[in-house]
Structure 1
Amino acid sequence: MIALIRYLSTVLLLSQRYLAPLLLFLGLVAVLTSSDSGPLTATYASVAGAMLPCSVWLTMALVGLEDRAHRSIVAVSAGGHLRVLLATAGTAAAWCLLLTATGLVLPLLSGTHAPGLADLVLGTVAQLVCAFTGMAVGLVCSRLVFRRQGHALVLALVLLLALLLGKGVSPVNIMLTRLQNAPDSASAVAPTSVQLTVAAGLLATAVAVTQAITRRKA
């Protein structure tokens, strides 16, 4: 599995398809947190919101690196399509972790903050909630499910809007609403961790659905 993740990361680096979601993330974080001196709870909520579309884009780009024939060859060499799909999710998660580290540091450099441990933990968990949710959307809207990427893009945009605006339904909306109203980071860590569990469940479901559709198409 580690070898597959290294392979996919190398292919992604060589393709340079990571640049667009990376630049989008950096741009959104810079705009949303520039010269910010407010509480880090709200700041990291904004950073987490920026993570959502970037993780969708990154996952869709990662899945679309190889055509169907090349992916079949990789699947045979790796021991099955499921292993390749899990490695794809693992690679996307690894890249999202790099973005998460960046999202933790940039607001501290551009604004005036005195971060505590609870702030950093909350920032990490909040970004992972959006990363896992975005990866789930990216998988079900990828080339493995949709041959026409125009349809996949429209669905991805609809799902993103639903996740951001679906009050009381979407883990992202519940988390962001709670963080905007939280008195401090320490009180928001536990509820945000619950949403992280929900987001991980969504990602696992997306992997299962994508695998089922891939098997039917094979």
Structure 2
Amino acid sequence: MIALIRYTFATALHTQRYLAPVLLFTGLMGVLTVNGSGSLPPAYASSAGALFVCSTWLTVALMSLDDTAQRAIMVVAAGRSLSVLLAAIGTTLLSCLVLMVFGLFFPLWMGSYDVRPVDFLLGTEAQLTCALAGIAIGVLCSRLVFRRQGYALAAAIALVMVTVFTKNLPPVNQLFRLMATSSNSGDLLAPAGRMLVVSAVVLAAFTALTQYIATRKD
């Protein structure tokens, strides 16, 4: 698995497929969090939202690195197709962890916030929740499920819009509403933790569904 993740990282760096989603993330961070003030939960909700969009795009990009023939070679070398799929997910998740650090500290640098240690824990929970949700959507909208890129793009946009704007839909919309209506990070830790669990379950379910569809197609 480690070798597969290293290969995926190396291929992503070589092809620069990561560049567009990362630039989108930094651009959204600049627009949404610059010159902010007050409590941190709303700012971290913005950071989480930016990471949600970025992780979706990044997942689709990383899972489209190899053409059909190259993927077949990787599957044979790895021994099973699930390992290749998990390696792509692991690579995206590790990339999101790096971006999370930027998402935690960039608002503090560019704004004037009341900072408490519990705020960092909430920000980590929120960003990880949105990263897992974004990866889940990216996996389901990847080349393994949609052979045509236009269909994959339309499905990804639709799922992102539904996830963000459907009122009280867990985990993303509900998390955003909680963080927008409360300035006390301590009160939000437990609800945010529940949304994190929901995101992890959704990712596991979407991964299993993608693997099933890809196996049937192969």
TM-score (norm 2): 0.98
* Uncovered stretches (5+) of structure 2, i.e. residues with no partner: none
Code of the aligned partner of 1:116:
R
- Alpha-carbon distance between aligned partners in 1 of 2:168 and 2:180, rounded to the nearest angstrom: 15
* Residue aligning to 2:155: 155
* Residue aligning to 1:208: 208
Greater than 2 Å deviation, 4+ residue runs: none
User: What RMSD, in angstroms, separates the aligned Cα atoms of the two structures?
Assistant: 0.9
Q: Is the 8 A contact 1:162 1:170 kept in 2?
A: no
- Alpha-carbon distance between aligned partners in 1 of 2:170 and 2:68, rounded to the nearest angstrom: 32
SS in structure 2 at match of 1:113? strand
TM-score (norm 1): 0.98
SS in structure 1 at match of 2:36? coil
Superposed CA deviations along residues 29-55 of structure 1, whole A, max 9, x for unmatched, are: 111110111210111011111111111
Code of the aligned partner of 2:87:
A
Q: Is the 8 A contact 1:35 1:111 kept in 2?
A: yes
- Alpha-carbon distance between aligned partners in 1 of 2:123 and 2:158, rounded to the nearest angstrom: 26
* Residue aligning to 2:164: 164
* Residue aligning to 1:46: 46
Q: Is the 8 A contact 1:179 1:188 kept in 2?
A: yes
Report whether the alignment pairs 1:29 with 2:41: no
* Residue aligning to 1:59: 59
Report whether the alignment pairs 1:132 with 2:151: no
Code of the aligned partner of 1:112:
S
Q: Is the 8 A contact 2:64 2:142 kept in 1?
A: yes
In the TM superposition, residue 114 of structure 1 has moved relative to its aligned partner by: 4.2
- Alpha-carbon distance between aligned partners in 1 of 2:80 and 2:57, rounded to the nearest angstrom: 25
- Alpha-carbon distance between aligned partners in 2 of 1:156 and 1:135, rounded to the nearest angstrom: 11
Superposed CA deviations along residues 117-163 of structure 1, whole A, max 9, x for unmatched, are: 21101111101111100101001100010011101101111111100
In the TM superposition, residue 183 of structure 1 has moved relative to its aligned partner by: 3.0
* Residue aligning to 2:11: 11
- Alpha-carbon distance between aligned partners in 1 of 2:147 and 2:71, rounded to the nearest angstrom: 14
- Alpha-carbon distance between aligned partners in 1 of 2:84 and 2:34, rounded to the nearest angstrom: 39
- Alpha-carbon distance between aligned partners in 1 of 2:108 and 2:6, rounded to the nearest angstrom: 31
- Alpha-carbon distance between aligned partners in 2 of 1:105 and 1:75, rounded to the nearest angstrom: 39
Q: Is the 8 A contact 1:164 1:170 kept in 2?
A: no
Q: Is the 8 A contact 2:53 2:134 kept in 1?
A: yes
* Residue aligning to 1:143: 143
- Alpha-carbon distance between aligned partners in 1 of 2:184 and 2:78, rounded to the nearest angstrom: 46
* Residue aligning to 2:179: 179
Count of residues paired in the alignment = 218
SS in structure 2 at match of 1:38? strand
SS in structure 1 at match of 2:59? helix
- Alpha-carbon distance between aligned partners in 2 of 1:179 and 1:187, rounded to the nearest angstrom: 10
Q: Is the 8 A contact 1:133 1:200 kept in 2?
A: yes
Code of the aligned partner of 2:30:
A
* Uncovered stretches (5+) of structure 1, i.e. residues with no partner: none
Code of the aligned partner of 1:197:
V
- Alpha-carbon distance between aligned partners in 2 of 1:112 and 1:2, rounded to the nearest angstrom: 40
- Alpha-carbon distance between aligned partners in 1 of 2:113 and 2:170, rounded to the nearest angstrom: 30
Q: Is the 8 A contact 2:39 2:115 kept in 1?
A: no
Q: Is the 8 A contact 1:33 1:43 kept in 2?
A: yes
Code of the aligned partner of 2:33:
T
In the TM superposition, residue 168 of structure 1 has moved relative to its aligned partner by: 2.3
